[in-house]
Amino acid sequence: MSPAFDGSSGPADIEGSPLHAAFQQPLILGLFLPIQNGGWSISTLPRGTDWRFDYNARLTKQAEALGFDLVFGLAQWLGKNGHGGQMKYREQSLDAFIATSALAAITERILLISTVHALYGPWHPLHLAKFGATLDHISNGRWGINLVTGHVSTEWAMFGQPMIEHDERYARAAEFVGVLDTLWRSDANLTIRTPRWQLDDAFVSPRPRYRRPVLVNATGSDAGIDYAVRHSDLIFITSPAGADFDDAIGALPAHTAKIRDGAARVKRSVRTLINPTIVCRPTEREAHAYRDAIVAHADEGALDGFVGQGRRSDARAWAKHKREQRILGGNLHLIGSPEQIVDKLVALKRAGCDGVQLTFFDFEPDLAYFGEAVLPLLVEAGLRRDFAGSNSLHTTT
Ligand SMILES: Cc1cc2nc3c(=O)[nH]c(=O)nc-3n(C[C@H](O)[C@H](O)[C@H](O)COP(=O)(O)O)c2cc1C
């Protein structure tokens, strides 16, 4: 058989699935885990942010206790010194797949999304189908894949593979995920034939609890969006106009509408998540002072390395982000008092973003302050609700 992805139903359609629960929230809330040293900010201002597992495990539990819907880990392949500079930015980097697997065993409710470069190396869809089904069971339906195609030429070189052309990569990803989905849905042995994959009497058991694990893609290009609206539950989007909030808020309505329309054309609906960096302090003045201190400690060497990666990448999603915006990092900057942050989150929701996946400079205290000062205001603004049967916003488990 030639497998096709069945986009007509997935975990979001099944009441009781963790993804269905997350989708009941007016604004989905995620945390971008700093499993790479430096997280998203290329600054040497002292902070506690740490790539190590224990730190990220604490953050995940903190996010879960605050009622966050998901945590996410990115995957990348860098050489010695990472992006360089004093920080050796992102030289230390936990694998997202393994890290989220370990998190499954120490959490109860939060979704765990890990990035996989499905086209690198010897990833076989049968491996990923089996690993994913296993993780789905360990996590009780909370595990998902951000399936990306690899936009950096030096990463392909590390694997000894020629880089595949941008749009062709999405065609290969569709083929790969079609095999995955077919294996996850079948309770019989399958013989599968695609241009690249031949499986004889292949079988995966246990099957995932809610049809399949959560599927995510991170993109901004036309080919990527076309892939993502057909094969994903969630799309991680970037601001098409750079990280400045006013620029972004002007450009996002058309961008999110394009994704919604693309999904409607294939009779699906997907949710969009953007990843802002939040700099929040009791007053606007203090928040700007905090941002200024972060920026004043820019690690220029690491910044050169990170921005230089752009020359080895064909990603279209980050094209408008300026060099100086990379110091604070993330794809959108939200800076201000708790009230101002809530206003900006309300504006993002109105601009068509279904959720946000947050990064912070100093994750542990900044997340704690967000939980204490911003979350209650988000509830008041109607962006977060405490739905029956789930852990409440303020419950610690
Ligand atoms: C929130 C977010 C997370 C991402 N995570 C990863 C990642 O972990 N690994 C990776 O290689 N690329 C990651 N990307 C980058 C996308 O894969 C990259 O933008 C990709 O090349 C999309 O390109 P396109 O816009 O040209 O389709 C991420 C992008 C976003 C917005």
Look at residue 220 in the predicted model and tell me its pLDDT.
92
Distance CA 29, CA 340 (A): 17
Ligand 1 proximity of 163 Cβ (cutoff 6 Å): no
| Atom number, ligand 1, closest to the C-alpha of residue 313 | 21
Kindly report the pTM of this predicted structure. Answer: 0.95
Quickly state the pLDDT bin for 310 (edges 50, 70, 90).
Answer: confident
In a domain, 385, yes or no: no
Which residue in the block uniquely carries the two structure tokens 């599968």? 192
In a domain, 4, yes or no: no
Q: Which amino acid is at 270?
A: V
Quickly state the pLDDT bin for 393 (edges 50, 70, 90).
Answer: very low
| Atom number, ligand 1, closest to the C-alpha of residue 148 | 17
Q: Give mean pLDDT, residues 68-77.
A: 97
Look at residue 201 in the predicted model and tell me its pLDDT.
98
For residue 254, what are the contacts with CB-CB under 8 A and spacing of at least 6? Answer: none
User: 30: domain range?
Assistant: 11-380
| Atom number, ligand 1, closest to the C-alpha of residue 155 | 11
Structurally, the chain folds into a number of domains equal to 1
Task: State yes or no: pLDDT of 392 exceeds 80.
Answer: no
Closest CA to 46 of 366, 362, 277: 362
| Torsion sign over Cα 75, 249, 375, 28 | negative
Which residue's CA is minimally distant from atom 22 of ligand 1?
Answer: 219
In a domain, 395, yes or no: no
Ligand 1 proximity of 316 Cβ (cutoff 6 Å): yes
Ligand 1 midpoint to CA 48 (Å): 26
Q: Give mean pLDDT, residues 105-130.
A: 96
Task: State yes or no: pLDDT of 390 exceeds 70.
Answer: no
Ligand 1 proximity of 330 Cβ (cutoff 6 Å): no
Quickly state the pLDDT bin for 394 (edges 50, 70, 90).
Answer: very low
Quickly state the pLDDT bin for 380 (edges 50, 70, 90).
Answer: very high
Ligand 1 midpoint to CA 237 (Å): 9
Q: Give mean pLDDT, residues 380-396.
A: 62
Q: Are 93 and 53 in contact (CB under 8 A)?
A: no
Lowest mean pLDDT among 18-22, 106-110, 392-396: 392-396
Distance CA 136, CA 364 (A): 28
In a domain, 388, yes or no: no
Ligand 1 proximity of 169 Cβ (cutoff 6 Å): no
Look at residue 261 in the predicted model and tell me its pLDDT.
97
In a domain, 311, yes or no: yes
Q: Are 187 and 163 in contact (CB under 8 A)?
A: no
- CATH number where 107 lies: 3.20.20.30
Quickly state the pLDDT bin for 386 (edges 50, 70, 90).
Answer: confident
Residue 319 tokens read as: 């094209």
Look at residue 196 in the predicted model and tell me its pLDDT.
95
Task: State yes or no: pLDDT of 120 exceeds 80.
Answer: yes
In a domain, 390, yes or no: no
pLDDT digits (tens, 9 = 90+) for 234-275: 999 999 999 999 999 999 999 999 999 999 999 999 999 999
Ligand 1 proximity of 225 Cβ (cutoff 6 Å): no
Ligand 1 proximity of 317 Cβ (cutoff 6 Å): yes
Look at residue 4 in the predicted model and tell me its pLDDT.
84
Ligand 1 proximity of 43 Cβ (cutoff 6 Å): no
Q: Are 173 and 331 in contact (CB under 8 A)?
A: no
In a domain, 394, yes or no: no
Look at residue 388 in the predicted model and tell me its pLDDT.
41
In a domain, 391, yes or no: no
Supply the mean pLDDT for the chain. Answer: 94
| Atom number, ligand 1, closest to the C-alpha of residue 225 | 27
Intra-chain end-to-end CA distance of the chain, in Å: 46
